Amino acid sequence: MTSFTPSHDLPQPAIYLVGNPNCGKTSLFNALTGERQHVGNWPGITVERLEGKLAGDQGSIRVVDLPGAYSLTPLTPEEGVVRQVLDEAWEGVVVDVVDATTLERNLFLTLQLRELGFRPVIALNCMDALAATGASLDPAALARQLDCPVFPTVARTGEGVDALRQALPGLLADRLAALSPRAASPGKPRLVTDRPSPWAGPAQERGGGRHRRRRGKPWPTGPAPAPALADDVPAGNGAGDHGGEALAGSARSTPVAVPTATSVATPAATPANAPAPPPTATPANAPAPPPSDPAATRPRSTAGVIDLPPPWQAALTATLAWLGHEPATATPSQRLAALQALVEVRSPSRSPALQAIQERLAAELARGTGRPLSVAALPCELAADRYRRIGEVLAGCYRPAPAPIDPLTARLDRVLAHPWWGLPLFGLMMAVVFWSTFSLGALPAAWVEEALAWATEAVEARLADSLLRDLLVDGVLAGVGGVLVFLPNIAILFFWLALLEDSGYLARAAFLMDYFMQKMGLHGRAFVPLLMGFGCNVPAILATRIIEHPWQRRLAMLLMPLVGCSARLPVLVLLCGTFFPDRPGTMLFLIYLINLLVLFAIGRAAASLGGPRSTGLFLLEMPPYRLPTWRTMRGFLWEKIWHFIEKAGTVILLGSILIWVLSAFPREVPLSRAYDAEIARLQATPSDDLGEAVARLVRARDQERLAGRWMSRLGRALHPLVAPLGFGWREAVSLIPGFLAKEGIVSTLAVLYGPVDDDLGAAMRQEGMTPLGAFAFMLFTLLYVPCLSTLGVLWRESGSWGFTALALVFPAMLAWIVGFIVYQGGLALQAWAARPGGYDLALVVLLALGSAVLLVRRAWCEVRGGGCAGCPSRATCARSRVEAGGSCEKA
Amino acid sequence: MVRDNRTLTDLGAGQTATIRDIDLSHPAGQRLLELGFTPGTPITAIGRAPMGDPTTFQVRGYRIGLRAAEARLIGIDPPPPHRR
């Protein structure tokens, strides 16, 4: 869009994506920009604004993805983000992403935007899901009703997105043209009606083609209202009408491309199967009643339906004046503030002037309906009126599905969210996840191992025995390779996380786990950040922003580093496989179970230490289940895998080299025996067990050398600290690089125990590591300190050094205590636990105890009868209903 | 007319009722209104979580989980006899 140059200093124009949580904004954002932001079937994935450039437009147009919001009245911080950018968005194009499967609720936000004067471009998303439910919706009619351009899309598959992407530059240019003072004609009277026109006057050049959209990219839909708008709205309040001019302008300049209502309906009629409905209106289906003929496009726009009713409009104007804003030029945020003031009926200290406006409005409304209405009922009235208008909008274009809810979702919920089976099924799913993470990862891991062994041989064959060769083999290949072996396991773990998330199950998991979150004094919403923490702690800490309450957010942030992220997986997989060869998957699951229990215990303790009783607003939307698409999962998986490889190539590589240096110098270490001479003597006299004897000597020599090097001196200095937990000095040392990145533990162990072709686990066993010690080491690793990046995020998000220090020291102490209890307690129980099947028995007893407690409590509720009357959560269910003055009643 | 104090917490799983009023003294009330919990709207309790709280409700074609603390803000009228 080079034809346009803004003539006054605006921030760079942009396209703003708004919409309800989980309506597919980020999917659409990715499709529009070609970026790979994380999406999931879970409300609240995006917590701050994301920016990208519109693909295919020379990268000149910004696209801003905003956090999901149900309403412009902010209740959570991320909804506040949307409100803050309202005025900024006024100077760009707002794309309102509407989930077609929950139209009524999604249109609430649309209506709010319209009331503020916006004329959003509607991306009617999830059209495939809508079609699947048996409902039908006519986007063209919706466009007419809402008086906004409407683009049916399926953001997950990318269907229909091209049409939107191609239309956006034109829409933006036209919007800017409408705002531009050049286009203004100050002589015209302004209409002080529903639409504010703060910066701009009329767009006179509508038909001039100056901001004409590029040829060959016609509007797929939405032109029907445009001519009507162009006719009934005199030039003068064009500022709010971006898109309208665009459509009208295009209609006049390139008539052949203008679709009519008939052609518009074409892509809409086959939303599910049409592969990116060709937006081009061919002459065949566009018998083109000349768009310049106004009569052809009447009946007029039904804009009256979606605007605020006259009494509200009058009251809003009065409130704006009372707030000191010129009603005609008020910005969207000023209008929003005025609307909020108008329905702020609870504060007894509100100004008498405002009260007068409210009373007048209530009286006016009461006269209109013929029933009494108190001022206290105004908020209720406004919401009800919006839904009434939504109903009117939908009446003409929407036929609801025969079933009130997607039958598949209803069926699955009956099982997966069942009060009895829900939790066991969740546990089972988690068990499958961890079992398969271990066992399915074994085969590709073997391939990676082979590749590494081959690389080691190749290096050894090509390089003479030198320091460089040692560095490559013992440092780089052993360290980095030792970590890369776990790539398949990590890929599998993330595959499951992506699957659970994309299918919509996570919301159910949060629902099932909410009771426990409540007990921890945490919001149910904190569950998903916690679960995300199993992938990586850093985004999980960012995700705690969805928790409004500061105290709770701090608690969640403090707990987050205790969540066993995927970087800890290599240690766990290595040790589970080595020390528990019969039951590696079970052990892995057990470790994570203990992890959850520790989290729960800490949260519980923190809650009893005086956290707030109220855990804030809990609204957990249950999105419909859907089949995850490879398209969304692929991007997510690839990003995670790449991140892992990148880390192995940078932090782990540097760490491995450093560890190697520390363990390779000083080069000359005084030895107790003349090993080399003995080896030479052995080799000179042939015997049967020559190889074995030589190997034994070589090993003993290397051990003694290593013992003299810096690393082991450091290790021996640290060893007493962790000796009570059953760790050797190598383990003690490995914990240091683990602070940089948890994978560093394995790479360090690999370097310290020798090159990769040795079995690391076997070497550990040889050096006296016991299964019990390994178990304690795994738990210690899981808990001990947040990694450096996590600590950085903790500091940034909390803004407090004290908190950051606490987040560093507290887990370390906790890990030590847990390790001590497990190891020393385990030693005491060793005789019992070491019997065959002892570990299985322990696991079974633990699981049985846990479920018994749950089942007994649940059964208690049932036996007592009366719903939750005898329920342990009775305290939070108190039936005392506050009959406050603010409640509004149905007449 | 005797005022009925029944709220959403009294709605058993599978039962449908009509929303009568919303307690706006709690900030959640305003949000519930915006989510479509407006007076006169039918609402169905779908099921409770394992420990009896929260509960899933179905309203305006979608499902949402509410804790008892929020469900208590919503007063309901008993379902009309023929609906039961």
DSSP string, A701-751: HHHHHHHHSHHHHHHHHHHHHHGGGT--HHHHHHTTHHHH-THHHHHHHHH
Judged by CB atoms closer than 8 Å, whether chains meet at A886 and B39 is answered as no
Q: Identify the burial level of A671 via C-beta atoms within 10 angstroms of its C-beta, where 0-12 means exposed, 13-18 middle and 19 or more buried.
A: middle
Contact A247, A150 (CB under 8 A): no
pLDDT at A57: 63
CB-CB contact of A524 with B55 (8 Å): no
Q: Is A25 annotated as a binding residue?
A: yes
Nearest-CA distance from B55 to chain A in Å? 8
| Residue A451 contacts B where some CB pair is shorter than 8 Å | no
One domain, residues A344 and A426? no
Chain A: give the shortest CA distance to residue B67, in Å.
Answer: 6
Under-70 pLDDT residues of chain A? 1-11, 36-48, 57-59, 75-78, 181-304, 523-525, 546, 548, 610-617, 754-758, 831-839, 858, 860-891
Distance separating alpha carbons of residues A493 and A440, to the nearest angstrom: 10
The reply to whether A460 and A350 lie within a common domain is no
Residue A741 has which token pair?
Answer: 């990145």
Tokens of A448: 């990676």
Choosing among A115, A414, A515, which should be mutated to test the B contact, i.e. which has the most B CBs within 10 A?
A515
- Residue A105's closest CA among A128, A71, A74, A76? A71
Helix-strand-coil percent breakdown of chain A, rounded to 5?
A: 60, 5, 35
Query: Which CATH number belongs to the domain containing residue B41 in this structure?
Result: 2.30.30.90
> What would the pLDDT profile of A93-115 be if each residue is shown by its tens digit?
999 999 998 999 999 999 999 99
Residues of A in contact with B67 (CB under 8 A): 514, 518, 524, 615, 618, 876
Q: Are A489 and A438 in contact (CB under 8 A)?
A: yes
Q: Which residue of B has its CA nearest to A111?
A: B34
Q: What are the helix and strand counts (H, E) for chain B? A: 2, 5
* Global pTM value: 0.73
Q: Do A884 and B25 touch (CB under 8 A)?
A: yes
The reply to whether A733 falls in a domain is no
Within a 10 A sphere around the Cβ of A848, how many other Cβ atoms? 10
- CA A392, distance to chain mean position in Å, is 34
Cβ–Cβ < 8 Å for A165, A182 = no
* pLDDT (0 to 100) of residue B80: 52
Structural domain span for residue A864 = 825-891
- Taking CA–CA distances from B58, the nearest residue in chain A reads A405
Pairing of strands A121-125, A150-152: parallel
Tell me if A748 is assigned to some domain.
no
User: What phi-psi label fits residue A126: left (phi over 0), alpha (psi between -120 and 50 degrees) or beta?
Assistant: left
Q: What are phi and psi of A98, to 5 degrees?
A: -115, 120
Helix (H) or strand (E) holding B58: strand B55-59
Is A19 annotated as a binding-site member? Answer: yes
In a domain, residue B46? The reply is: yes
Determine, yes or no, domain membership for B43.
yes
From CA A883, how far away is CA A817, in angstroms rounded? 50
Interface of A with B in 535-594 (CB under 8 A): none
| pLDDT value for B38 | 93
A723 contacts: CB under 8 Å, gap ≥ 6: none
Instruction: Report if residue B27 sits inside a domain.
Output: yes
Q: Which of B7, B34, B64 to mutate to test the interface with A (most CBs of A within 10 A)?
A: B34
Does residue A869 lie within any of the structural domains? yes
Residues on chain B touching A104 (C-beta within 8 angstroms): 36, 60-61
Q: How far is Cα A551 from Cα A824, in angstroms, rounded to an integer? A: 35
A280, A296, A328 - which closes a domain: A280
Which ranges in A36-101 belong to alpha helices (H)? 77-84, 86-90
How confident is the model at residue A384, as a pLDDT?
A: 93
Say what the ipTM of the complex is.
0.92
Q: Are residues A18 and A91 in the same domain?
A: yes
Are the C-beta atoms of A779 and A816 separated by less than 8 Å? no
Residues A346 and A372 both lie in one domain:
yes
- On whether both A152 and A115 belong to a single domain, the answer is yes
Which of B10, B25, B36 is facing A104, going by the closest CB pair?
B36
Residue A628, in any domain of the structure:
no
pLDDT score for A862? 61
pLDDT at res. A755: 54
Asked if A625 is an interface residue toward chain B (Cβ–Cβ < 8 A), one would say no
How many domains are contained in chain B? 1
Boundaries of domain holding B15: 8-73
> What is the least distance, in Å, from the CA of B75 to any CA of chain A?
9
Considering its fold, how many domains does chain A have in total? 4
DSSP result, A4-28: ---SS--PPPEEEEEESTTSSHHHH
CA pair distance A155, A30, nearest whole angstrom:
9
d(CA A347, CA A154): 44
Residues A172 and A67 in one domain: yes
Paired sense of beta strands A93-99 and A121-125, if any: parallel
Q: What is the DSSP string of A123-181?
A: EEE-HHHHHHHT-EE-HHHHHHHHTS-EEE-BTTTTBTHHHHHHHHHHHHHHHHHHH-G
The answer to whether residue B81 is domain-embedded is no
Partners of residue B10 in chain A, C-beta under 8 Å: 867
Contacts with B68 from chain A: Cβ below 8 Å:
868, 873, 876-877
Cα–Cα distance for residue pair A551/A486, rounded to 1 Å: 37
Give the separation between CA A264 and CA A280, rounded to whole angstroms.
Answer: 10
Asked whether the bond before A561 is cis by omega within 30 degrees of 0, the reply is: no
CATH code where residue A63 lies:
3.40.50.300
> Do A836 and A763 fall within a single domain?
no
Residue A177 CA to residue A16 CA, distance in Å, equals 18
Same-domain check for residues A151 and A207: yes
Contacts of B26 in chain A (CB under 8 A): 882
Which among B27, B46, B53 has CB closest to A413? B46
Give the DSSP H/E element, type plus range, for residue A852: helix A838-864
Residue B38 within a domain: yes
Helix (H) or strand (E) holding B55: strand B55-59
Say yes or no: A423 and A379 in one domain: no
> In terms of CA atoms, which chain A residue is nearest residue B40?
A890
Pair A65, A143 in one domain: yes
Show which of A338, A372, A399 is a domain's final residue: A399
Tell me which of A200-209, B29-38, B47-56 is least confident: A200-209
DSSP A401: -
A838 and A887 both lie in a single domain = yes
> In whole angstroms, how far apart are CA A142 and each of A149, A607, B35?
9, 49, 21
Residue at B79 is within a domain: no
The residues, ordered by sequence, that sit 6+ positions from A772 with a Cβ below 8 Å of its Cβ are A726, A822, A823, A826, A827, A830, A833
In whole angstroms, give the CA distance from residue A375 to residue A16.
35
How does DSSP classify residue B7? Answer: B
Q: Do residues A876 and A886 touch, judged by C-beta distance below 8 A?
A: no
C-alpha distance from A515 to closest chain B C-alpha (Å): 6
Same domain, A205 and A349: no
What distance in Å separates residue B83's CA from the closest CA in chain A? 16
Residue to substitute from A405, A511, A525, interface B, most B β-carbons within 10 A? A511
Phi, psi of A870 (to 5 degrees): -100, 15
Three-class SS state of B11: coil
pLDDT > 70 in chain A, percent: 76
Q: Answer whether A886 sits within 8 Å of B33, measured CB to CB.
A: no
Query: Tens digits of per-residue pLDDT, A777-829?
Result: 999 999 988 988 888 888 888 888 899 999 999 999 999 999 998 898 888 77
- What DSSP designation does A471 have? I
Write out residues 497-536 of A within 8 Å (CB-CB) of B: 507, 510-512, 514-515, 518, 524
Q: Supply the DSSP symbol for A537.
A: H
pLDDT for the residue A816: 93
How far apart CA A183 and CA A200 sit, in angstroms, is 8
Question: What is the rounded CA–CA span in Å between residue A125 and residue A708?
Answer: 66
